[in-house]
A and B are shown apart, each in its own frame.
Chain A
Amino acid sequence: MKKTVLTEKLGFLSLGLAGLLVLSVLIWIIGDIFMNGASVLSWEFLTQSPREGMTQGGILPAIIGTFLVSLITIIFAVPLGMFSAIYLNEYARQGKLVRFIRLSIRNLSGVPSIVYGLFGVALFVRFFHLGASVLSAGMTLGLLTLPWTITASEEALKTVPKSFRDGALALGATKWQAIRTNVLPYAIPGMLTGAILGLARAAGETAPILFTGAAFFLPFIPKSLFDQFMALPYHLYILATQHQDIARVRPIAYGTGLVLIALILCLNGVAVFIRYQYRKKARMSS
């Protein structure tokens, strides 16, 4: 009796410690970046271009660059992911083809991001002649987020009860009418949540944009989607490893990291907010 109590307590303790350890690592990372990066944060840092070989000035082009690329990623990946999910979940006959598509999606999520980068070069930069640009990089990141968007969209579609579809069909709706008017409205928040989480992942990636459009240093903001751009993660990489005076730019590197993390946390926050609103609505309607 006593032994089981002790085992129980020990087990509970070790589980709790594991959880705490994970939490403390996260807090440490964020805390470290905040402590070291907060000092360079200023209005100028957020609104100016880098100067004097990136030892002075701000990171505005990198912020704008990451923002623009993210926008392309969303515009490219969300419809593609949504439509694939609608096809897979609503239209496709379950068979070899669908199994193969699903297998491909699972494999896509396991492909290393540098491989996406090389693929992006081959497909967008060279084959489609889009050059190293915001567009190429955005679409490469879009490919990277596709597994997330498709899976999340499918899950969202699955949560809409069959009775919504049947009810509409029995009233003489065509299949597409039933999906458009009586399934998608209830699935879209879930789809968006998945897309945003995928985007948050993509916005922090360096490898896929390395060859497809991110620039080492540009003192200006991209004027068209065919321009090269600076991006926060790549800028951070440069400052931390490639700069001629790493020690001097370290605070700027930390500041860049802080802005990047804040941006991603904001994106996650938006996703949580949408999901929360959606759950609230779902509770009211059940």
Chain B
Amino acid sequence: MRTTSPLQIPSEEVKISVRNLNFYYDETKALDDMNIDIPNHQVTAFIGPSGCGKSTFLRCLNRMNETIRGTRIEGTILLDGTDIYAPEVDVVDVRRRVGMVFQKSNPFPKSIFENVAYGLRINGLKDKRKIAEIVEQSLVDAAIWEEVKDRLFESAMGLSGGQQQRLCIARALAIKPEVILMDEPASALDPIATQKIEDLIQKLKKNYTIVIVTHNMQQAARVSDITAFFYLGKLIEVNETGIIFTRPRLQQTEDYITGRFG
């Protein structure tokens, strides 16, 4: 079954283009013939029940699955027209351009400042003034500056869950990626912290292309422009979020978003 996607995105607005993607954990096929165009400067949400492959697919987009042994990928993922899996492409370069925020906030056990500076330092930036400048700007952009500006040199482990997650976003922003992948970034957060993350996503899409995996359908409806519905390792339907949530083409999609299964 091909993906139902009436969506036509003009090619100059496509940031990531996935064609005929298959993905395997050992011999198990986890993703089956994925095809999707992800538009520039918009928020694309992946929804679907647990185990449907949405997180696996997200991790294909910055080659993070390569850290898991026994995985294999087929097909192409074009970032601005270049295949990120081509042999001459440096995986480090891909991950600098395509940042990632994990489901469980994972600040390093360093100071708040050092967390954000980490990506700059490993990328070889030494100028202290420049680092301080970018750290501040990233924290401002991640809407957490006001809360941490007086304790930049305290451990990031002392922050609340929501603050930690925004810190992780700031950390990702610091290296100026073009795309930010978010894997259920608010799943462990309370409603107020979730609200802050969602507001932040809206702000960030001006400058970044955002792909977000979420369990929460209201969240997808609130934050995204495009929604893709995954089921059992297949991409079932992709369309503008407004249409997916009101007039999906497929019964399966409708059943899921109306809560009849999943």
Task: Answer yes or no: B153 CB below 8 A from chain A CBs.
Answer: no
Contact of B99 among A164, A170, A182 (CB under 8 A): A170
Contact of B67 among A161, A169, A172, A284 (CB under 8 A): A169
Contact of B69 among A94, A170, A181 (CB under 8 A): A94
Q: Nearest chain B CB to A243's CB is how many angstroms away? A: 56
Q: Which of A170, A177, A186 has the most CB of B within 10 A?
A: A170
Q: Write out, one digit per residue, whether chain B residues 82-97 have a CB within 8 A of any chain A CB (1) or not (0).
A: 0000000000110110
Chain A: CB-nearest residue to B95: A172
A181 to B127, CA, bound (A): 19
With a cutoff of 8 Å between Cβ atoms, the chain B residues found around residue A42 in the complex are none
Task: Answer yes or no: A244 CB below 8 A from chain B CBs.
Answer: no
Number of residues from A at the complex interface, CB < 8 A: 22
A171 to B167, CA, bound (A): 13
With a cutoff of 8 Å between Cβ atoms, the chain B residues found around residue A285 in the complex are 109, 155, 157
Task: Answer yes or no: A4 CB below 8 A from chain B CBs.
Answer: no
Whether B175 lies near A171 (C-beta < 8 A) is: yes
With a cutoff of 8 Å between Cβ atoms, the chain B residues found around residue A44 in the complex are none
A173 to B155, CA, bound (A): 22
Whether B118 lies near A171 (C-beta < 8 A) is: yes
Tell me the total A-B contact number using a CB cutoff of 8 A. Answer: 66
With a cutoff of 8 Å between Cβ atoms, the chain B residues found around residue A172 in the complex are 92-93, 95-96, 119, 122-123, 175
A233 to B249, CA, bound (A): 83
Task: Answer yes or no: B166 CB below 8 A from chain A CBs.
Answer: no
Q: Write out, one digit per residue, whether chain A residues 72-111 have a CB within 8 A of any chain B CB (1) or not (0).
A: 0000000000000000000001100000000000000000
A285 to B62, CA, bound (A): 28
Q: Nearest chain B CB to A272's CB is how many angstroms away? A: 22
Q: Nearest chain A CB to B49's CB is how many angstroms away? A: 24
Number of residues from B at the complex interface, CB < 8 A: 27
Task: Answer yes or no: A174 CB below 8 A from chain B CBs.
Answer: yes
Task: Answer yes or no: B172 CB below 8 A from chain A CBs.
Answer: yes
Task: Answer yes or no: A168 CB below 8 A from chain B CBs.
Answer: yes
Task: Answer yes or no: B104 CB below 8 A from chain A CBs.
Answer: yes
With a cutoff of 8 Å between Cβ atoms, the chain A residues found around residue B107 in the complex are 167
Known contacts A181-B122, A284-B155; is A171 also within 8 Å of B67 by CB? no
A186 to B69, CA, bound (A): 23
Whether B122 lies near A177 (C-beta < 8 A) is: yes
Whether B95 lies near A171 (C-beta < 8 A) is: yes
With a cutoff of 8 Å between Cβ atoms, the chain B residues found around residue A171 in the complex are 95-96, 99, 118-119, 122, 171-172, 175
Known contacts A168-B118, A171-B118, A172-B123; is A284 also within 8 Å of B157 by CB? yes
With a cutoff of 8 Å between Cβ atoms, the chain B residues found around residue A177 in the complex are 122
Whether A174 lies near B67 (C-beta < 8 A) is: no
Whether A167 lies near B92 (C-beta < 8 A) is: no
Task: Answer yes or no: B252 CB below 8 A from chain A CBs.
Answer: no
Give the 10 A-B CB pairs with smallest separation, nearest first.
A285-B109, A172-B96, A163-B106, A171-B119, A170-B100, A172-B95, A167-B106, A173-B122, A285-B157, A177-B122
Q: Which residues of B contact A (CB under 8 A)?
A: 62, 64, 67, 69, 92-93, 95-96, 99-100, 102, 104, 106-109, 118-119, 121-123, 155, 157, 168, 171-172, 175
A-B contact pairs, 6 of them (CB 8 A): A171-B95, A171-B122, A172-B93, A177-B122, A181-B118, A286-B157
